Amino acid sequence: DQQVKQNSPSLSVQEGRISILNCDYTNSMFDYFLWYKKYPAEGPTFLISISSIKDKNEDGRFTVFLNKSAKHLSLHIVPSQPGDSAVYFCAASAGGYFGNEKLTFGTGTRLTIIP
Amino acid sequence: EPEVTQTPSHQVTQMGQEVILRCVPISNHLYFYWYRQILGQKVEFLVSFYNNEISEKSEIFDDQFSVERPDGSNFTLKIRSTKLEDSAMYFCASSRDRTSYEQYFGPGTRLTVT
């Protein structure tokens, strides 16, 4: 049941350049999307989110883009820093107006920033 | 900054034994969740909990699993009779209220069933 897919298991980016992580989903009921960052031996840390009524949300170095027609979202990190090296998970919710629904996660992309 | 805490960080148990995993959600949060991640696989939803009852549970959350909020701060996951395939990282999460989509996760408990 691959409702949320992250097709790149790993990505290496030079420090200072842009990192672009991609996520695709199949469930049309998903209306809220989140990115989490995870370091080894820690829990997922919330990074940034976007509602389906928007196509872009920006927070500092992080920007999430949503293309509803393509059922695709991406996370841009500019500029990439060594501390950004982690596993990034895309997650989706079908909560409608109410946000307390379960999250469905992708398999994650391991991002390595090369100094 | 408030955070979700979980204990223990690592639990080793024998097959067939009962385990209780403990979580302290963020204090003003109303919704609580358990997820698990089997090594090499994705994070999977187990159960959500609100107002002292289960809101939703996945097909993984069978009769061997139960959750409880025994007091105003703890949230527990009990596995009655552990199986080898229950070995995983178990994450507790909480969210603020019904309009809040963001869930905040604890550091996890690594459960090893031998």
Average pLDDT (A21-46) is: 94
**Which chain A residues have a beta carbon less than 8 Å from that of B58?**
102
The predicted pLDDT at position A41 comes to 83
Helix %, strand %, coil % of chain B (to 5): 5, 50, 45
**Which chain A residues have a beta carbon less than 8 Å from that of B31?**
100
pLDDT values of chain B reduced to their tens digit, one per residue, 114 residues:
779 999 999 999 999 999 999 999 999 899 999 999 999 889 999 999 988 899 899 999 999 999 999 887 899 999 999 999 999 999 999 999 877 889 999 999 999 999
∠ CA A15-A17-A23, nearest 5°, is 110
Give the Cβ contact number of residue A59 at 10 Å.
Answer: 10
- Burial of B90 from C-beta contacts in 10 A (0-12 / 13-18 / 19+): buried
**Which chain A residues have a beta carbon less than 8 Å from that of B44?**
105
Asked if the structure places residue B49 within a domain, the reply is yes
Residue A95 has pLDDT above 80, yes or no: no
The predicted pLDDT at position B101 comes to 86
Confidence band of A97 (pLDDT split at 50, 70, 90): low
Asked if the structure places residue B18 within a domain, the reply is yes
Domain at B52, CATH number: 2.60.40.10
The predicted pLDDT at position A1 comes to 62
The predicted pLDDT at position B100 comes to 82
Confidence band of A77 (pLDDT split at 50, 70, 90): very high
CA-CA distance, A32 to A7, in Å (whole number)? 20
Residue of B1, B42, B44 for testing the chain A interface, max A β-carbons within 10 Å: B42
Asked if the structure places residue B39 within a domain, the reply is yes
Q: Which two tokens stand for residue A19?
A: 């990192």
CA-CA distance, A106 to A83, in Å (whole number)? 22
The closest CB to that of A103, out of B55, B100, B103, belongs to B103
**Which chain A residues have a beta carbon less than 8 Å from that of B4?**
43
The predicted pLDDT at position A40 comes to 86
The predicted pLDDT at position A47 comes to 97
CA-CA distance, B98 to B31, in Å (whole number)? 8
Chain A interface with B: residues with Cβ < 8 Å? 32, 34, 36, 41-46, 49, 89, 91, 93, 95, 97-108
The predicted pLDDT at position B73 comes to 87
Q: Which CATH class is domain A4-97+104-114?
A: mainly beta
The closest CB to that of A42, out of B42, B93, B107, belongs to B107
| Nearest residue to B37 via CA among A6, A85, A43, A101 | A43
* CB atoms B55 and A100 under 8 Å: yes
Average pLDDT (A35-61) is: 95
Asked if the structure places residue B106 within a domain, the reply is no
Asked if the structure places residue B108 within a domain, the reply is no
Asked if the structure places residue B94 within a domain, the reply is yes
* CB atoms A44 and B31 under 8 Å: no
The predicted pLDDT at position B26 comes to 95
CA-CA distance, A86 to A109, in Å (whole number)? 8
Asked if the structure places residue B70 within a domain, the reply is yes
Domain count, chain B: 1
Compute the radius of gyration of chain A from its Cα atoms.
14
| Domain range for B78 | 5-98
Confidence band of A99 (pLDDT split at 50, 70, 90): low
Q: In what order do the strands lie in the sheet with A4-5?
A: A4-5, A19-25, A72-77, A62-67, A56-59
Quick check: helix, strand or coil at residue B86?
A: helix
**Which chain B residues have a beta carbon less than 8 Å from that of A3?**
none
Asked if the structure places residue B110 within a domain, the reply is no
The closest CB to that of B98, out of A41, A49, A99, belongs to A99
